Protein backbone atom coordinates (compact mmCIF):
# COMPACT_ATOMS: atom_id res chain seq x y z
CA UNK A 1 0.00 0.00 0.00
CA UNK A 2 1.16 3.49 -0.75
CA UNK A 3 1.30 6.16 1.90
CA UNK A 4 -1.71 7.88 0.37
CA UNK A 5 -3.75 4.67 0.53
CA UNK A 6 -2.77 4.17 4.17
CA UNK A 7 -3.87 7.70 5.03
CA UNK A 8 -7.17 7.14 3.19
CA UNK A 9 -7.72 3.85 5.04
CA UNK A 10 -7.00 5.51 8.37
CA UNK A 11 -9.40 8.35 7.57
CA UNK A 12 -12.11 5.89 6.51
CA UNK A 13 -11.67 3.82 9.68
CA UNK A 14 -11.91 7.00 11.76
CA UNK A 15 -15.06 7.99 9.87
CA UNK A 16 -16.68 4.58 10.40
CA UNK A 17 -15.77 4.64 14.09
CA UNK A 18 -17.31 8.10 14.49
CA UNK A 19 -20.45 7.05 12.61
CA UNK A 20 -20.78 3.91 14.73
CA UNK A 21 -20.37 5.77 18.02
CA UNK A 22 -22.61 8.76 17.38
CA UNK A 23 -24.61 8.07 20.54
CA UNK A 24 -21.47 8.61 22.61
CA UNK A 25 -20.19 11.87 21.12
CA UNK A 26 -23.52 13.25 19.81
CA UNK A 27 -22.16 14.25 16.39
CA UNK A 28 -24.64 13.55 13.64
CA UNK A 29 -23.62 11.80 10.43
CA UNK A 30 -23.55 14.99 8.37
CA UNK A 31 -21.12 16.66 10.76
CA UNK A 32 -18.85 13.62 10.76
CA UNK A 33 -18.80 13.48 6.96
CA UNK A 34 -18.05 17.20 6.65
CA UNK A 35 -15.22 16.89 9.19
CA UNK A 36 -13.72 13.93 7.31
CA UNK A 37 -13.96 15.85 4.04
CA UNK A 38 -12.20 18.85 5.57
CA UNK A 39 -9.55 16.54 7.06
CA UNK A 40 -8.79 15.13 3.61
CA UNK A 41 -7.64 18.60 2.53
CA UNK A 42 -5.29 19.15 5.50
CA UNK A 43 -1.59 19.51 4.65
CA UNK A 44 -0.53 16.43 6.64
CA UNK A 45 -3.19 14.24 5.05
CA UNK A 46 -3.03 15.59 1.47
CA UNK A 47 -5.70 13.31 0.00
CA UNK A 48 -7.51 16.08 -1.89
CA UNK A 49 -6.32 19.16 -3.72
CA UNK A 50 -7.68 21.60 -6.30
CA UNK A 51 -6.56 19.38 -9.18
CA UNK A 52 -8.51 16.35 -7.91
CA UNK A 53 -11.60 18.31 -6.94
CA UNK A 54 -11.68 19.84 -10.44
CA UNK A 55 -11.87 16.36 -11.96
CA UNK A 56 -15.02 15.37 -10.02
CA UNK A 57 -18.18 15.19 -12.12
CA UNK A 58 -20.73 16.96 -9.94
CA UNK A 59 -23.74 16.58 -12.27
CA UNK A 60 -24.78 13.13 -10.97
CA UNK A 61 -24.35 14.32 -7.38
CA UNK A 62 -26.60 17.32 -7.95
CA UNK A 63 -29.18 15.10 -9.66
CA UNK A 64 -29.24 12.70 -6.70
CA UNK A 65 -29.48 15.59 -4.24
CA UNK A 66 -32.37 17.05 -6.22
CA UNK A 67 -34.21 13.74 -6.18
CA UNK A 68 -33.70 13.41 -2.45
CA UNK A 69 -34.93 16.98 -1.95
CA UNK A 70 -38.17 16.14 -3.74
CA UNK A 71 -38.78 13.43 -1.16
CA UNK A 72 -37.85 15.69 1.74
CA UNK A 73 -40.09 18.47 0.46
CA UNK A 74 -42.96 16.00 0.08
CA UNK A 75 -42.50 14.90 3.67
CA UNK A 76 -42.28 18.49 4.93
CA UNK A 77 -45.46 19.46 3.08
CA UNK A 78 -47.23 16.40 4.54
CA UNK A 79 -47.85 15.06 1.04
CA UNK A 80 -46.68 11.63 2.18
CA UNK A 81 -49.32 11.58 4.92
CA UNK A 82 -52.03 12.53 2.44
CA UNK A 83 -50.84 9.87 0.01
CA UNK A 84 -50.84 7.29 2.80
CA UNK A 85 -54.40 8.38 3.65
CA UNK A 86 -55.46 7.83 0.05
CA UNK A 87 -53.78 4.45 -0.25
CA UNK A 88 -54.66 3.11 3.22
CA UNK A 89 -58.25 2.14 2.31
CA UNK A 90 -56.88 0.10 -0.60
CA UNK A 91 -54.45 -1.72 1.68
CA UNK A 92 -56.55 -1.97 4.84
CA UNK A 93 -58.62 -4.99 3.89
CA UNK A 94 -55.95 -6.76 1.89
CA UNK A 95 -53.95 -9.78 2.92
CA UNK A 96 -50.19 -10.00 2.64
CA UNK A 97 -50.19 -11.04 -1.02
CA UNK A 98 -52.73 -8.43 -2.10
CA UNK A 99 -50.89 -5.73 -0.15
CA UNK A 100 -47.65 -6.62 -1.92
CA UNK A 101 -49.40 -6.43 -5.29
CA UNK A 102 -50.90 -3.05 -4.37
CA UNK A 103 -47.49 -1.79 -3.23
CA UNK A 104 -46.07 -2.88 -6.58
CA UNK A 105 -48.85 -1.04 -8.43
CA UNK A 106 -48.21 2.11 -6.36
CA UNK A 107 -44.55 1.84 -7.36
CA UNK A 108 -45.51 1.53 -11.03
CA UNK A 109 -47.74 4.61 -10.72
CA UNK A 110 -45.02 6.60 -8.98
CA UNK A 111 -42.59 5.61 -11.73
CA UNK A 112 -44.57 7.87 -14.08
CA UNK A 113 -44.61 10.79 -11.64
CA UNK A 114 -41.20 10.74 -9.93
CA UNK A 115 -37.73 9.35 -10.38
CA UNK A 116 -37.12 6.10 -8.45
CA UNK A 117 -34.90 7.88 -5.94
CA UNK A 118 -37.46 10.61 -5.30
CA UNK A 119 -40.28 8.06 -5.00
CA UNK A 120 -38.22 6.01 -2.56
CA UNK A 121 -37.42 8.99 -0.37
CA UNK A 122 -41.03 10.18 -0.51
CA UNK A 123 -42.92 6.93 0.00
CA UNK A 124 -40.72 4.74 2.18
CA UNK A 125 -42.14 6.13 5.42
CA UNK A 126 -45.83 5.85 4.40
CA UNK A 127 -45.37 2.32 3.08
CA UNK A 128 -43.60 1.32 6.28
CA UNK A 129 -46.41 2.83 8.35
CA UNK A 130 -49.00 0.98 6.27
CA UNK A 131 -47.19 -2.30 6.79
CA UNK A 132 -46.99 -1.76 10.53
CA UNK A 133 -50.69 -0.80 10.74
CA UNK A 134 -51.55 -3.99 8.87
CA UNK A 135 -49.35 -6.08 11.21
CA UNK A 136 -47.17 -7.07 8.26
CA UNK A 137 -43.42 -6.93 7.91
CA UNK A 138 -42.91 -3.51 6.26
CA UNK A 139 -40.03 -4.90 4.21
CA UNK A 140 -42.51 -7.00 2.23
CA UNK A 141 -44.33 -3.89 1.06
CA UNK A 142 -41.14 -1.93 0.49
CA UNK A 143 -39.53 -4.66 -1.60
CA UNK A 144 -42.68 -5.01 -3.71
CA UNK A 145 -42.81 -1.22 -4.08
CA UNK A 146 -39.16 -1.01 -5.16
CA UNK A 147 -39.50 -3.89 -7.65
CA UNK A 148 -41.65 -1.61 -9.82
CA UNK A 149 -38.52 0.17 -11.11
CA UNK A 150 -36.52 -2.97 -11.78
CA UNK A 151 -39.12 -4.67 -13.94
Q: Please give the Cα distance from 37 to 59 (Å, whole number).
A: 19
122 close to 75: Cβ distance less than 8 angstroms: yes
Q: Which long-range contacts (CB under 8 A, 24 or more apart) does 111-115 make?
A: 111/148, 111/149, 114/67, 114/70, 115/67, 115/70
Q: Of the candidates 100, 99, 111, 109, which has an alpha carbon nearest to the alpha carbon of residue 150?
A: 111
27 close to 14: Cβ distance less than 8 angstroms: no
CA gyration radius for the chain?
Answer: 21
Domain residue ranges of the chain, discontinuous segments joined by +: 3-56, 62-150
More confident residue, 94 or 2: 2
3-state helix, strand, coil in the chain (%, to 5): 80, 0, 20
* 64-121 residue pLDDT tens: 888 778 767 777 787 767 776 777 677 777 788 888 888 898 888 888 877 787 788 7
The reply to whether the predicted model has a pTM over 0.85 is no
* 18-44 residue pLDDT tens: 999 988 999 998 899 999 999 999 998
**Inter-CA distances, 128 with 14, 140, 145, Å:** 33, 9, 11
Amino acid sequence: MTGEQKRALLLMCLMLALLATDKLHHLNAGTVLVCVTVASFLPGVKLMDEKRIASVNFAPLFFIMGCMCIGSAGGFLKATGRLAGLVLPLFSEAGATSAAVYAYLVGVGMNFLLTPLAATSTLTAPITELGMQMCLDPRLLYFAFSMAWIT
